[in-house]
Amino acid sequence: MNAYAMTSEQIAAYGETLRLEERCEATIQKYVGAVMALFRFLPPEKAVTRELLLAWKAEISARFSASGANVMISAVNRFCAFMLWSDLHIKQIKVQRRIFRDCDRELTKAEYTRLLNAARAKGNPRLYWLMQTLASTGIRVSELRFVSVESLHSGRAVVDCKGKRRVIMIPQKLREKLLAYCAETGVKSGSVFVTRNGKPLNRSNIWRELQGLCAAAHVDARKVFPHNFRHLFAVTFYRMEKDIAKLADLLGHASINTTRIYIMESGAEHERRMEKLGLVV
């Protein structure tokens, strides 16, 4: 049984390698955080073995969802490969492909409208227009910084992230509203949604502000996070167009299989389909 000494310096070097690979900062933090979780789990001598890795896998499997645990396992496997510890690779948790979404995580159009009304009532135009930008374009929150004053004039936001470049169309009505917002707030160039210091909003800033709307909007806080507006865009578009290939292009997905996750029907819809089969006499 091989044992390898693990140090915080190695973890820092792993993070720098991820940056050189042009991973986005959120991904780097997630991957380094997973490796740090393993580091804290290890005994005082900080020697990692396959047996300890399997014990850590069992521990995170009990604490996190299967998908969350698999992200952590993937991050640690990458770290082990980076360190050339080839015998420490562990398997991910097998998950059967789901065929419908959880209703308690699905943001409806009515709830979206209530969130908008709550933002307006609280006098927060930045959040009001930010939600509409996420929902009407399907843009990722990490790509929001590319929605700039310049892109509003051209009608296209050129996103350059994770070594990939794609163009996002900005609806005419949204462009007009955002240009008016920029005129009111004094944003003359660069990112539209910025902090008081002029820096682009980050994911945690946005999440905190969104959570502050939940009570006033009477929306379950579990449904209110930036990525769910992207899901709302996908579901709304697909119900109208029924074109999964076009939707995959709009979302920037390399595989349609990823897009299928976004347009999965809800549990209630699935149940109604089962009832319509008429096979229970």
Give 106-149 pLDDT, tens digit per residue.
Answer: 899 999 999 999 999 999 999 999 999 999 999 999 899 999 99
The residue from 64, 88, 112 where one domain ends is 88
For range 217-227, the mean pLDDT: 94
Confidence of residue 57 (pLDDT cuts 50, 70, 90): very high
Q: Is residue 11 located within the same domain as residue 61?
A: yes
Q: What is the mean pLDDT of residues 254-276?
A: 75
- Which of 40, 58, 88 is the C-terminal boundary of a domain? 88
Q: If you average pLDDT over residues 47-64, what whole number do you get?
A: 93
Question: 4 forms bridges with which residues in the sheet?
Answer: 48
Question: Would 23 be classed as within a structural domain?
Answer: yes
Domain match, 173 and 249 both: yes
Is 116 inside a domain boundary? yes
CATH number of domain containing 246: 1.10.443.10
Q: What confidence category does residue 272 fall into, taking pLDDT thresholds of 50, 70 and 90? A: confident
Beta strands, E only, the chain: 4-5, 47-48, 156-161, 164-169
* 95 within domain boundaries: no
Question: What pLDDT band is residue 102 in, cutting at 50, 70 and 90?
Answer: low
Q: Which amino acid is at 128?
A: Y
Residue 278 lies in a domain: no
pTM for the complete prediction?
0.69
pLDDT surpasses 70 at 96: no
Is 94 within a domain?
A: no
Eight-class DSSP state of 91 = P
* Residue 203 belongs to a domain: yes
If asked whether residues 77 and 204 sit together in one domain, one would say no
Type of residue found at 195 = T
Provide the residue range defining the domain that includes 77.
Answer: 4-88
Alpha-carbon gap, residue 139 to 127, rounded angstroms: 15
